[in-house]
Amino acid sequence: MSDESRPTPPGARTAAVIPAAGRGVRLGPGAPKALRALNGTPMLVHAVRAMAASRAVSLVVVVAPPDGAAEVKALLDTHALPERTDFLVVPGGESRQESVKLGLDALPPGIDIVLVHDAARPLVPVDTVDAVIEAVRDGAQAVVPALPLADTVKEVEPATTPGEPEPVLATPERARLRAVQTPQGFAIDTLLRAHETVTDNVTDDASMVEQLGLRVVVVPGHEEAFKVTRPLDLVLAEAVLARRRLNDGF
């Protein structure tokens, strides 16, 4: 069997690292994004519950704003979380990449599979989380949930002055593109190696594994796994929560 397809043993232990140390500049002024409320509950608590909803996840490592680890720990202590899951809080870094690395450094021995999940994607359904874990269990070293694009995408020459028209360089074939979400799932050794080796500034963990020359696979994402980035995303997130409450009948 090739190094790239090694199913993890039955009983493999899965941990989730949640980078939550970002400021949320694009969301506008206010508390760090992960601590802002969605229907009265901090976004981070929704994200932690989304990971802990998977029965496979036995440990969640939250990477808090650099000076906010004690506050985040207190926050998690005051919200109901599944008892079968352990929680750790560590301070984060200057970039998402650095924050994920600090979360990985906090993992105890004995973890086989690691998920990396943005606190900014608080509403990912458990079926998506489980599908990612299952694909890693089946032998993939790196798995990303993703959706086809609704918009046509253009590659441009970025403007040097804001607001200036940007020349179009190319139009990639839309049918071959995917918008990538989290949680991204990895065989633990693969992600540790990627974070030790890759120093380029990248926007997701899977691209670090790609840089090692290893295979990354896509499984179907979910429209409710969208990232809360701009103010309108908060409106959508609250609408999704309202629809869930209606469907749950309370």
Ligand X SMILES: C[C@](O)(CO)[C@H](O)COP(=O)(O)O
Ligand Y SMILES: Nc1ccn([C@@H]2O[C@H](COP(=O)(O)OP(=O)(O)OP(=O)(O)O)[C@@H](O)[C@H]2O)c(=O)n1
Q: Are 227 and 150 in contact (CB under 8 A)?
A: no
Of 13 and 131, nearer to ligand X (C-beta) is 131
96 binds ligand Y (CB under 6 A): yes
Min separation Cβ 245 and ligand Y, Å: 24
Of 23 and 244, nearer to ligand Y (C-beta) is 23
Alpha carbon of residue 124 to chain centroid = 9
Of 68 and 140, nearer to ligand Y (C-beta) is 68
Binding ligand X (rule: CB under 6 A), the pick from 104, 118, 183, 188 is 118
Of 29 and 109, nearer to ligand Y (C-beta) is 29
Binding ligand Y (rule: CB under 6 A), the pick from 90, 104, 113, 120 is 120
Structure tokens at 91: 């301070």
Binding ligand X (rule: CB under 6 A), the pick from 49, 96, 137, 195 is 96
Min separation Cβ 170 and ligand Y, Å: 25
Q: Which of residues 170-189 bind ligand X (CB under 6 A)?
A: 180-182
Instruction: Let me know how long the chain is.
Output: 250
Q: CB atoms < 10 A from the CB of 57, how many?
A: 26
* Dihedral sign (CA 167, 171, 146, 123): positive
For the stretch 156-165, contacts whose Cβ atoms lie closer than 8 Å and that sit 24 or more positions apart, written own/partner, are none
d(CA 185, CA 181): 11
Of 4 and 233, nearer to ligand X (C-beta) is 233
Quick note: the x/- pattern for ligand Y over 212-241, rule CB under 6 A, is ---------------x-x------------
Query: Which residues have C-beta within 8 Å of that of residue 200, sequence separation ≥ 6?
Result: 211
119 binds ligand Y (CB under 6 A): yes
d(CA 197, CA 211): 9
